[in-house]
Amino acid sequence: MSKESRKFMRLLVLFDLPTTTKAHKKAYVQFRRFLIKDGYDMLQWSVYTRLTNGFDQTQTHLKRLKNNLPKEGSIRCIELTEKQFTQMKVLLGERKIQEKVNTHEQFLLF
């Protein structure tokens, strides 16, 4: 495993899903539950983030994400290094507790 592939990274998932029908709402809830179960933390409404240990793990979670997409809506994913993520500026409000607590120093490797 190269040094580049072991960098801590973040997957940032941004989504806009329809909730006009009962089926749409069900798909929204299932997708959101998948994100939470797969270790994502809500950054703000419809924006979730997940810490990963390197490029390979990022690709694994990206494949899982693709396998759990709803049929309709708009979902985008950005891969960031942990350094890029921590340099994000909060222009209004405060950092959430998950951002303060869930850092790469606390990422446990088994």
**What CATH number should be reported for the domain holding residue 20?**
3.30.70.240
Domain count within the chain: 1
Q: What pTM was computed for the model?
A: 0.80
Q: The domain containing residue 65 runs over which residues?
A: 4-106
Nearby residues of 7 by Cβ (< 8 Å), 6 or more positions away = 54, 55, 81, 82
Q: What angle do CA 63, 69, 74 make, to 5 degrees?
A: 115
pLDDT per residue as tens, the chain (110 positions): 555 546 899 999 999 999 999 999 999 999 999 999 999 999 999 999 999 998 999 999 999 999 999 999 999 999 999 899 988 888 888 877 766 655 555 554 44
